[in-house]
Amino acid sequence: MPSAQPLRLLLLAGSARGGALSVRLRDAARRLADAAGATTSVIDLRALALPLYDGDLEAAHGVPDGARQLREAIAMADALLIVTPEYNGFPTPLEINAFDWLSRLQAEAPAPSGLASTAGKPVALLASSPGPLGGLRAMNYLRQYLQMAFAMLVVPQQYALGRANEAFDEAGAFKDAKAAQSVAAVLDALLRVAGALRSA
């Protein structure tokens, strides 16, 4: 890592159900990021308690505070790692809804707008699925969404963990060293970009 200060990495999973494969992959990736010297934190999208986006609700009550929690976590991070499941080829409603609400937040000095909190921020994507492709299609749509709408710098390296239901041992470690290496390579690329941007 180019900087003496540890890089701050925020990790998100696109599912919050008990036993979620994306949470298991997020936690395994977090251990690798810790080992690489990053300072890691996670945010639980379900705990933000964001209702399904509704313009009438926004007009009546404003943007829910959960979106501010997400904005603060993103603003504090040097880089994000998002682990997405795949629902019918797409990222999950939990992920998209959280970022849609984030996009509605105006600047509230000293806090930036939701979109300003993401602009230029590096992010890497992982996906997980019990299927053979591991959620590859969802990851590619998520890449487009984050680049196009949120001006995020999505690093080219990504990894989809297929057969994710068989990928972890009881301690949550990867059974296959190649999977661990693939995730580590994505993290390495992300942290290199984040380090270079911070020193720029």
DSSP label at residue 167: S
Considering the complex, state which of residue 12 and residue 74 has its C-beta at the smaller distance from ligand FMN.
12
DSSP label at residue 89: T
Please pick, from the candidates 10, 12, 22, 32, the single residue that binds ligand FMN as defined by CB under 6 A: 22
| Side chain identity, residue 59 | A
SS3 111: strand
**Distances from the Cα of 194 to the Cαs of 36, 92, 123, 146, in angstroms?**
13, 26, 9, 16
Which residues on adjacent β-strands are paired with residue 122? 153
* Residues in binding contact with ligand FMN, number by CB under 6 A: 14
SS3 61: helix
Report the nearest approach of ligand FMN to the CB of residue 22 (Å): 3
Please pick, from the candidates 7, 9, 10, 15, the single residue that binds ligand FMN as defined by CB under 6 A: 15
Scan residues 117-136 and list those touching ligand FMN (CB under 6 A): 129-131, 135
Considering the complex, state which of residue 25 and residue 190 has its C-beta at the smaller distance from ligand FMN.
25
Considering the complex, state which of residue 36 and residue 133 has its C-beta at the smaller distance from ligand FMN.
133
Q: Where are the beta strands (DSSP E) in the chain?
A: 8-13, 39-43, 79-84, 122-128, 153-161
* Contact flag: residue 88 with ligand FMN (CB under 6 A): yes
* Stretch near ligand FMN under the rule CB under 6 A, chosen from 71-79, 87-95, 151-159, 173-181: 87-95
**Contacts with ligand FMN, residue ranges (CB under 6 A):** 15, 17, 20-22, 85-89, 129-131, 135
